[in-house]
Structure formats: C-alpha cells, structure tokens
Amino acid sequence: MKLPRSQLEGGLRMDAEYYQQEYLEVIENLNTLGAVSIREVAVNPKRKFQPQKSEIFQYIEISEVDLSTGEYNKLEILGESAPDRAQWIVQLGDIVISTVRPIRNAVSLITEDSKNLVCSSGFAVLKAEKVEPEYLFVYLKSRPIVELLDRKTTATMYPAVTVDDILNTKIYLGDENFREEIKGKVIEAQNELEYSKSLYSQAENLLLEELGLKDFKVEDYLSYIVNLSEVKSTHRADAEYFQPKYDKLISKIKNQNAKMLGDLTSMKKGIEPGGDVYQDGGKLFIRVSSVSKQGLIDKDQKYLSNELYQNLKNNFEPEIGEILLTKDATPGIAYVLKEKVEGVVSSGIMRLKLKEDVESEYLSLCINSVIGKMQIERDSGGSIIEHWKPEQIKNLQIPILSKSVQQKIADLVQKSHKARKKANELLEAAKKTIEIAIENNKK
C-alpha cells in the first residue's frame, strides 16, 4: 500500500500497521463529517489529589470499571494508605478514560457529586465544556474511536496512550438533535441501572427481614470463652473463628430450616488451561473477574481458540440455569446464568446445579448477602481468603424460607436483571447510532 506524504504523521510513526486501511477510512470519514479535535470541546482539568493522613477518600481503579456499562466501584481508603496511583480528583460530569490500553473501553461518566472522589493515574480525566458529557462518554466507547486510540499504542513497548492522544482524537458532533438523542439514551440507561440496584436492594432487605436480620449488628468481642471440645471438633484454633457474631448468624439461619449448599446443589469446578493459550478474541473464557452478582461483565476479558473450546466445552461450558459461584480471589459471588454462553469456566469458579426445589435466584441472593459473606469470612479466619475450599462451600448454611417468600425475592432479583439488561441495550443502541453515522459518512 502506497501512502501520500500528507498522510504520514510527521515521521512520528512509520510502522505499516499504523496506516492500515480501516484506520485511514475512519479518519477520512471523520474529516468529511467536519469532526473537530476533542480538545476543542473538552479539557483535561488536572486536579491533583493531596491525601490527608487521617481522612478517608473514595478511589476508582481501572479494574473496578464495568467495560459494558461504565459503572465503577469505589474503594474507601485512609489517606495514609493512599496508593501512589491515586492522583486525580474527579467531579460530577467528568469522563474518565483508561490510558492503559490492554484494558480496552474502560470509560466512565462520573454521576455523583463527591468531595473526596479520586481516580487512578491510569485514567485521563476529561471535563466536557462544549459538548454534552453523556455524548462524549458514549463517543469514547464507540468501536471506531476505541480502535483509533488502540492504534496509538501499536509497536510500542508499553501499551498506553497519552492525554494528548485522546485530546487530539477527532469527535463527530452532528447536530444538536443527534446529540440529544444519544444523551437521552444514556440518561435512560443510567435510570435503569439505578432502578436495577434499587430492586436488588429490595430483595436483600426482604430476605433479611424474613430472617430477623434486618437490624443485625456485627460486633467483635474483645473476649469470649470457647470449650476445648469445640476447638477439636472444628479443627480450628484461631480466635476469629469463634467470634460470637458468627454463632448468632448461624442460629438465625438454622431457625429457618437451614440446609447445606452441598445438599441443595451438585457442584462442578472449571478448568485452568494456562495463560499461554489466552487470546484477544475467540471463545469466552469465564474467569473470576468476569462474574458479578448482576451478571457476566467485561473486565479485561480473555478468550480461547475455537479448537481448544471444542475440546473443553462438553465438560466445562456452563448451562442456562446454573449458578456460577466464585471460589478464588473474590470468593462468594453468585450469578444465575440466563443466556447461552459459548465459552468455558475457569478453575476459580464452581458450577452449581439445583438438586432440590429451591428458587435459584433466591439461593444466589442468599450467597451474595451477609448470610454468605459472613460464613466465608469465618472460613477465612477474618482475613482475605484467596481460595474457598469445595468442602467449605458444600457446608455453607442456606435458610429455606417458604416457597411464596422465595418467589417474591426471586421476582425482585429477576426484575433487577431485566432493568440492567435494558440499560445495556440502550447504551449499545447509543454506540451503534454513532458508529453508523461515522461508517456511513452521513451528517
């Protein structure tokens, strides 16, 4: 392929991959559409964070961003423990976008007004000034723009883009009606996500109310007495295991005809084929980081070749209706699979199939709630557990409420998942609208 000198970027990049035809076509289409540089409609505010030793701040790390919805989890950190990467203060309406490119599409719209919200230095922070922040958020998540930014990392040792790379990227603005259409979809999606969270919270509250745990207070005792026979029978000698709070919880659960998880389900572990077989595309490899209580999420996703998938799928592909339960790294996250997935499950995940007449969404919620979390905490001795043993999983106590209450709880959870699915569809529709406009080269 021959290129005119005008298309060579000042000799800064001479590698052929940088000038692939698909990249040049996107750039040509954007120029034809009258696109402008992002720096003409947004700025990088550079609000430097100075941690105070005794103050708690909320921290957003790249790994805590849902690549599908842009939602983010916040970690609460004391100033004296602030990581070096806690660099930038973010505010309501800001957009944060990952500059570390192996994690593609990590873009979030900040939807809260918080004084102590800080993001990692692995993000570039943008403040929209002459464009709707909702539009800029979706634009940066659209496929052509993700690919143009990925292009900037080609042939580099450390795959990252700079803030200038982002600010120099062209943005197609369309007319006001076009942007308002996109903005409307984003706002509706955000409302659906909030509704989803509200429904899930209602389900949790109903569960705890039925168990008499609504106002359950977790208190650590400084001293308590344990019989030697208990130490011998449990094969545990660590003080944390015998904290009275756990016995109080188990007592509440057992009042509701509790059964062990191993009696309610059959269990099957996934497989670890080895990091050397991971690919950037292909069939899904479902890792612990892929599982949340809301569903399968896109977090630095890995893939397997079709050939390897064909060899493994009979034993390790999950089925609709199974509960995926994490047992390693972040154990105790449960999700009922609702749609067919072409992929295999990693060894850090257990596949649970119901053996008894219990609502699967109810069972999943029990595991995700304080009921499951405290039992996992007890198994770990109060520390962060890296591996939850299959025998411990089987012994997890599950309260069996009446079928009618189980159904009410399951209905709330299902409605929560439907709202989340609708939010995803709205965001995908917004992205698709932008992508079609760019690819078809139509104003």
Indicate the residue type of 276. D
Please give the mean pLDDT across all residues of the chain.
88
Rg of the chain on CA atoms, in Å: 25
Per-residue pLDDT band for 255 (boundaries 50, 70, 90) equals confident
Is the pLDDT at 192 greater than 90? The verdict is yes
- pLDDT on residue 158: 67
Write out the residue limits of the CATH 3.90.220.20 domain(s) in the chain: 5-174, 240-400
Core vs surface per residue 121-155: b (16+ CB within 10 A) or e: ebbbbbbbeebbbbbbbbbbbbebbbebbbbbbbe
Calculate mean pLDDT across residues 74-89: 97
How many helices (H) and strands (E) would you count in the chain?
A: 13, 21
- pLDDT on residue 239: 47
Percent of the chain with pLDDT over 70: 85
Is the pLDDT at 435 greater than 80? The verdict is yes
Is the pLDDT at 300 greater than 80? The verdict is no
What single-letter DSSP state applies at residue 280? Answer: S
Q: Select from 298, 294, 285, 301 the least CA-distant residue to 341.
A: 285
Calculate mean pLDDT across residues 315-328: 97
More confident residue, 191 or 7: 191
- pLDDT on residue 153: 80
How does pLDDT run across 276-297, given as a tens digit for each residue?
999 988 999 999 989 999 999 8
Q: Which CATH architecture has domain 5-174?
A: Alpha-Beta Complex (3.90)
Q: Which CATH architecture has domain 240-400?
A: Alpha-Beta Complex (3.90)
Is the pLDDT at 319 greater than 70? The verdict is yes
Is the pLDDT at 330 greater than 80? The verdict is yes
Let me know: does 393 contact 367? Beta carbons within 8 Å: no
Per-residue pLDDT band for 191 (boundaries 50, 70, 90) equals very high
Per-residue pLDDT band for 354 (boundaries 50, 70, 90) equals very high
Is the pLDDT at 242 greater than 60? The verdict is no
Between CA 406 and CA 9 the distance in angstroms is: 62
Q: Select from 324, 323, 340 the least CA-distant residue to 286.
A: 324
Per-residue pLDDT band for 231 (boundaries 50, 70, 90) equals very low
More confident residue, 32 or 4: 32
- pLDDT on residue 79: 97
- pLDDT on residue 9: 54
- pLDDT on residue 103: 61
